[in-house]
Structure 1
Amino acid sequence: MSTSQRPSAKVSGRVALDQAEAVIVDQYTRLVRLAYLTLPHTLSRHRRVLVAHALVQRALPGFRIGRAAPRVPEQRRGRPDPAVAGTRARVLRSALAHDRRPRAWPGFLPPPRTLRPMLPMVWGLRLFPRAGGGEEIALGQVLSEVPAPARAAFVLLQLEGLSRSEVVELLAAADVPRPERAVDTAGDLEAAAGETTETLLRSREFDACSVQTRPTDLLRRRRRYQLSWLAAGLVALCCAILLTGVGAAPPGERDRTADVQLAVTPDQLVRTPPDAWADTSRVDFTAWPARGARADDDELITRALATWTDPPRGTRIGVARSTSAEPPPGQTQLLYAGDVGREAVVLFHDGRRVVRYAEAVSSPSGSASLTVSRSDEADVTTAAALVVSRASGKIRYLTAPWIAEAQTRDLLTPDSPGRPLDMSDEGVTDAVAQPPGKGPCDSLPVLQLRSSGKIVEKHAFLVTDLGGLAPAHLSYTPLPGTGAPPRQPREATSGAALRSWARTACRLPELRHSGVRAVNQWDFAEQDLPEQGGKAVWSCTRASTWRGPGDVLVQFRAPTTSATAPAKLVGQARSTAACSRFGQHIVAATPWTAGSGRRYLLAAGSREVTGIEVTGEVDATERGRTLAVRAPKDPDVTVRARLSDGETLDEVGSRTAR
């Protein structure tokens, strides 16, 4: 008896070649679209178009000698005939197997290209679907973040109108393990995408049969043709040189644009007018003009676009979490091109991402670096600066055109004024110290930027480097007031904000390289400590990421003579809505020892908390927003709060040994 949970696809009879050919001709566009959306998004759009056409054209039964044909779901009443089902299964099987390692293939070797598009062949042209709008781009981003079987199931459900059971059978016939999981993921995508999903999938953004054509580099092709005659006369000499190992150019010194077909050329880049930022309601990266002394250097920009389109071997690549590395789309914007220190740097923005390309000024043909980060829904603060250079523990920023003044300050010296930071006419700052990583936390440098009065009056704010291209925005929410409504986050430039951040700033390096967009410090409760121990403050530090989820750290600040004594971590949670506008209530607890040596359990909640209950090794109930009760060392307890609307609230995170 079989115990496998994988559905078995019943096999029908063999499909005649003429029937399969008729299906391919009749449904060619739909099959190509299915293959195009299923193929890995790591391929360039040009290559995905060619591979999709090749897979459909090679979907005739028995095209590959010595390889078993995929199983075909049995025909049922109201289902497609075996020829349609079999052709879909063959196309899906080939698309899902692209870049997959065969059994027993060595793990240290890359997967073989068993599905090279031998037909059609295109010379001198680059093909890619026509660009869609913002909704199509967003849907493409979502699809790129799910596995290929889920993409295939999504297309089959949305465009082909198949039922869940039919899709499960078809995926099983295409050798997909656990096809139910792929269908479940596709269902989640359908719920998130909304009612216009089918219309978006039928748009030109995903139609690999209605494509644009662009030539490859015409001048380079002409030079190659002319040089080929010269090369033919030197064949004998070249062979002799190759045999002795002399004259072969190292891989890193070859022209990285030679074999790349650009998706976007320098003259197609969007260049925003210099004064657009002062006359727009959308103050973000789209308002940045193209700046830099090399903004008209087509050779540098071409190398940057070529590296982004198809990074050559040896390129140092950094891609933020949940960020697509696909080639530049049609509406890519140039932000900057110029020399910064020993590097030539180019910055791009495509509506969803910012991209930094860098190469050595002394060796343009050498190895380069490419960094890709998310930037969707940036605003006046999160689009205020980009890292343009990192070297020897120092950072240079390119500031937004609306930044009128820049200063540096140390979060661990809250009472010290900011120090002016010089900027060039292009907006590039002098080098500033990089915040510490692991190790001692003796200082934590931040930028204090001030916006121009043309967009907002007297607006200063703090940002700091957390490893991304865009520095994270730091804000502060003060203790609750006596009335309503609740306090809202504000800029962390006041004395109270700086003093609060000074006690918790050394936790910021733990957030490096996690795609943090903004960090808010919320002082949610103040408590009188037992035995006249003074006043303590409870805070929740929330790090919100560009991809959406946020992590929180709940900290307890007891009275101390040091303005920078680290706060006590009393709870933490990952991927939570807590401490945001969608999670405005919180309760936390911690053990505490008084000066007399007596031990207590302390708890506190946010402004809507009306009572706190503790159960376990300590049983206590207290009306109000705070609780203090005698307790053994590190008691095992459960803490809950009652809210003003009658609901109950659990403690955020798990308390650790303190």
Structure 2
Amino acid sequence: MPRSAREPGRATVQVTNHRLARLPDVQSQEVAPRTTPGSGPVVDVEQAEAALVEHYPRLVRLAYLVLPPGLGRTRRVLTAHALVQRALPRRRASASVIPAQAAGGTDGGGEDPGYSLLRLQVLRTALEAGRPPKRTAWPRRSQLPPLFPQVWGLKLFPRSGGAEELALDQQLSALSGPARAAYVLRGLERLPEDHVRKVLSAAGVTRPTAALREASRVPRQDALLESPEFDPCSLQARPTDLMRRRQHTKAALAAAGAAVVCGVLLAVPSGGWGPDGAAAPGYAQNPAARAALDPAKVTKVPPTAWRTSARTDFSVWPARGGLTGDTALLRRALAVWSRPGGSVQVSATPGTPSGAPAGPPQLLYAGRVDAARVVIFYDGLRLARYAEPARGTDGAALDFARVDAATGAEAEAVVLGRADGNVRYLTAPWVTKAAERDLLEPSAEAVDLGLQDGVTAPLAGPAEATGSCSSWNVLQLTEGSGIRLLTDLGELTPAHLTVGRPGAPGEASEPEALRTWSPFACSLAAVRSQGVRSVNAWEFARQTLPDGSGSAAWVCTRADTWRGDGPRVLAQFQTPGGRYGAVAAKAEGVTACGTKDPHVLAGVLWKSAEGRWYLLAAGSSDTGSIRATGGVTGSADGNLLAVRAAQGAQAGLKGTLEDGRTISGLR
């Protein structure tokens, strides 16, 4: 869909493309990044955690009421607690646009988006727990007895209520899961029926209206839902069957002893003990695979090898860090790379294989980074980063990034670690200086980060906020041939920023290049975690605006990936004085703005300060003519077009290149 932004008192930019599509009215020269239409506010993990702690009793009560009574009171209590504790998101997430509770409610969190997000997750998993397992699929986690919390030797259940509570519990047990959820949302959360429908739909209920009708068969008794009968946080304890428990304990001890004996016999192969740590059990039988896991065979490049080599890639990086001689750490890292255990968090950039190394890899780094031990290997195709806590191996992580044919700026920095929104980098041995620069402030001086054995001080990551983008910090590296800019896009290797015509781009560190990038820095958020290798900004046209409004810049940003396919292209439009550019058109997997076929055509509906609407379009310099069709008609020779249009007009664009070929507006 086209994008636009509005600010009162400014000229208006409204985005269009070659298709016939209705375009929203726009009222701003300054265009800031926004959230996806229809999504709720973005909730940080910390915000969700605060909501969970504050409203934990209410969320557990909601889960307990929605869970099927057939589970039994003890398992129902433990499952309710488990579902709420697992509802905390692992990363930032969009909350539901449904309010957490209708006005006038109590103890429900008001309009807190964190509570709304948690409630939706709790409701979804509670409904899943009530569905019978399918024969053709593995049961979901919510359908299994919870691993945590667990209480041994005791039965836990809420305090018994009166006859009214017992009757209500029996009536609710006769309802289906969605109907029970509808009753609880309406009575406990005080949500109106239209909001209940939306919450049920978001939780995966296919017929929310039918669920509401079924729930209406049970008379509303909202006050009873707050009673101790349905409070899984105020519990009574009784012992389990003591005689049966003794019998089960004896059987369990016997089984454990047999398992230990079998485990010892299976774990010792003919070649000896294998590496442990966070790696999964197993042993490499192939001689080449065993060699790849031997810390003594890891390649360590001499510190001065890069000075005499003609190469500027990862193959000439020396092994650095204070733990390069820690054989046990290297063995654990290699073993986890070969066979990561179930507790290891594994990630890889798109298109990167995550299998074991084919032979002994090259060691780039082994040392302490903040509160972790970090090891980085290179096998000629990939970088593999292993990280474990300073004590123990629980919570180990393994990250992969594809870096085949990386050279120059693409092989000058690797992420060592992230903590509290900051990033530490390991730089190439030929880098002499590292600095931090805000891409949105092109005239500001870069802040020196310092280098210690190639490791930078913490660099604040790009700052993003809902509806705005206040800063975008990048890494500025100085080496023999000049200064280069790299930006963190959430992956193991930062992306290289360039400026200029495709095929012959220049570095983005020059003053004019910094001014070119500044309005479009925040658009880099659109290519996070997509395996981006480099991003180029190319001003393909500059257009004089009607009614004496100055001149606007047309810039194409193209993000190329390591896998070579799926580049993301944005044609952006910036009016005079605008802090941000407006995305006029976008496409993926096209040749536009690339080295093979750098032609581009895009258009916007724009409102001048005089209140008149125009269709503006621009193509690259080799565009011979442009023609508008649909609700706006007009044509012009050359690569620029400006014709009068009506607000909300529908238009299409066609261009003819100087060699006679035709092109359409960027899709």
Q: Which residue of 2 aligns with 1:67?
A: none
Q: Which of 547, 567, 575 is matched with 1:558 structurally?
A: 575
Q: CA deviation at 1:522?
A: 0.6
Query: Deviations along 1:14-63, whole A, 9 cap, x unmatched?
Result: xxxxxxxxxxxxxxxxxxxxxxxxxxxxxxxxxxxxxxxxxxxxxxxxxx
- How many Å separate the matches in 1 of 2:558 and 2:139? 40
Aligned match for 2:436, one of 408, 412, 415: 408
Which amino acid letter does the alignment assign opposite residue 488 of structure 1? Answer: A
Looking at structure 2, the residues matched to 634 and 379 of structure 1 have their Cα atoms a distance apart, in angstroms, of: 48
State which of 442, 459, 463 in structure 2 corresponds to 1:436.
463
C-alpha distance in 2 between matches for 1:421 and 1:602: 44
Structure 2 match to 1:491: 507
Distance 2:439 2:277 in 1: 46
Q: 1:444 to 1:594 in 2, by over 3 A?
A: same
Tell me the alpha carbon deviations over residues 420-454 of structure 1, each in whole angstroms, 9 at most, x when there is no partner. 11111x21111110113553411110011011x3x
Matched, 1:368 2:382: no
Q: Given the alignment of the two structures, is residue 529 of structure 1 paired with residue 571 of structure 2, yes or no?
A: no
Is 1:512 paired with 2:539?
no
Indicate the SS of the match to 2:333: helix
State the shift of 1:344 in Å.
0.2
Does the 8 Å CA contact 1:260/1:309 hold for their aligned counterparts? no
Residue number in structure 1 paired with 2:417: 389
- Runs of 4+ displaced beyond 3 Å: 238-243, 253-260
1:234-281: CA deviation from partner (whole Å, max 9, x where unpaired): xx9x958969xxxxxxxxx97445834353111222222222222222
Letter in 2 for 1:524: F
- Mapped partners of 1:528, 1:558: distance in 2: 10
Counterpart in the other structure of 1:466: 489
Q: Is the 8 A contact 2:464 2:471 kept in 1?
A: no
Kindly provide the amino acid, as one letter, of the partner of residue 431 in structure 1. Answer: P
SS at match of 1:406: strand
User: CA RMSD for the aligned pairs?
Assistant: 2.6
1:613 corresponds to 2:627: yes
**Paired residue for 1:628?**
642
Q: Deviations over 1:521-561 (max 9, x none)?
A: 1100001111111011100010111111210111001101x
CA gap of 1:385–1:497, structure 2 versus 1, over 3 A, is same
3-state SS of paired residue (1:303): helix
Say which structure, 1 or 2, has more relative contact order (CA 8 Å, 6+ apart). 2
What is the deviation of 1:304? 0.4
Q: Does the residue aligned with 1:441 lie in a helix, a strand or coil?
A: strand
Give the Å deviation of 1:106.
2.7
Instruction: Report if the CA contact (8 A) 2:323-2:367 is conserved.
Output: yes
Name the amino acid aligned to 2:513: A
For residues 322-377 of structure 1, the C-alpha deviation after alignment (integer angstroms, 9 at most, x for no partner) is 111110111521111001111000001111111100001122x3231000111111
Deviation at 1:104, TM superposition (A): 3.7
| Among candidates 583, 604, 615, match of residue 597 of structure 2 | 583
Aligned residue pairs, count: 402
1:317 matched residue in structure 2 = 346
Instruction: Give the counterpart letter for 2:388 in structure 1.
Output: E
| 2:414 partner letter | L
User: Of residues 415, 418, 421 in structure 1, which corresponds to 2:446?
Assistant: 418
Q: Give, in whole Å, the separation in 2 of the partners of 1:397 and 1:258.
A: 29
Aligned counterpart, 2:372:
343
* Deviation, structure 1 residue 404: 0.9
Aligned to 2:126: none
CA displacement at 1:628 relative to structure 2: 0.4
Aligned equivalent of 2:331: 302
- Is the 8 Å Cα contact of residues 406 and 447 (structure 1) preserved in structure 2? yes
* Secondary structure at 1:307 match in 2: helix
Return the alpha-carbon distance in structure 2 between the equivalents of residues 315 and 353 of structure 1.
Answer: 19
2:318 aligned residue (289, 296, 312): 289
Q: What are structure 1's unaligned runs of at least 5 residues? A: 1-102, 111-235, 244-252, 479-485, 654-658
Number of the residue aligned with 2:560: 544
Deviations 1:585-636 (A, max 9, x none): 1111111111110100001111111111111112211111101000112322
Give, in whole Å, the separation in 1 of the partners of 2:359 and 2:431. Answer: 29
2:606 aligned residue (589, 592, 595): 592
User: What pairs up with 1:10-409 in 2 under 5 angstroms?
Assistant: 104-108=135-139, 239=253, 255-256=277-278, 259-261=281-283, 263=289, 264=292, 265-363=294-392, 365-409=393-437
C-alpha distance in structure 2 between counterparts of 1:240 and 1:361, whole Å:
37
| Alpha-carbon separation, structure 2, partners of 1:105 and 1:298 | 46
Q: Deviations over 1:221-240 (max 9, x none)?
A: xxxxxxxxxxxxxxx9x958
In 1, Cα distance between equivalents of 2:339 and 2:361: 16
Tell me, in whole angstroms, the C-alpha distance in 1 between the residues paired with 2:138 and 2:571: 43
Query: Retained in 2: the 8 A contact 1:260–1:306?
Result: no
- Tell me, in whole angstroms, the C-alpha distance in 2 between the residues paired with 1:487 and 1:261: 49
Find the aligned partners of 2:361 and 2:457 in 1 and give their Cα distance: 28
3-state DSSP class of the match of 1:381?
helix
C-alpha distance in 1, partners of 2:358/2:384?
Answer: 12
**Secondary structure, in 3 states, of the residue corresponding to 1:308?**
helix
Q: Is the 8 A contact 1:257 1:302 kept in 2?
A: no
8 Å Cα contact 1:346-1:356 kept in structure 2: yes
**Percent identical:** 40
Q: TM-score, normalised by structure 1?
A: 0.58
C-alpha distance in structure 2 between counterparts of 1:604 and 1:629, whole Å: 12
Deviation at 1:287, TM superposition (A): 1.3
Code of the aligned partner of 2:655 = A
- On the 8 A contact 2:279/2:340 being kept in 1, the answer is no
Q: Which SS does the other structure have where 2:470 is aligned? A: coil
Partner of 1:299, secondary structure, is helix
1:107-146 residue CA offsets vs partner (Å, 9 max, x unmatched): 3489xxxxxxxxxxxxxxxxxxxxxxxxxxxxxxxxxxxx
Offset of 1:566 from its aligned partner?
Answer: 1.1
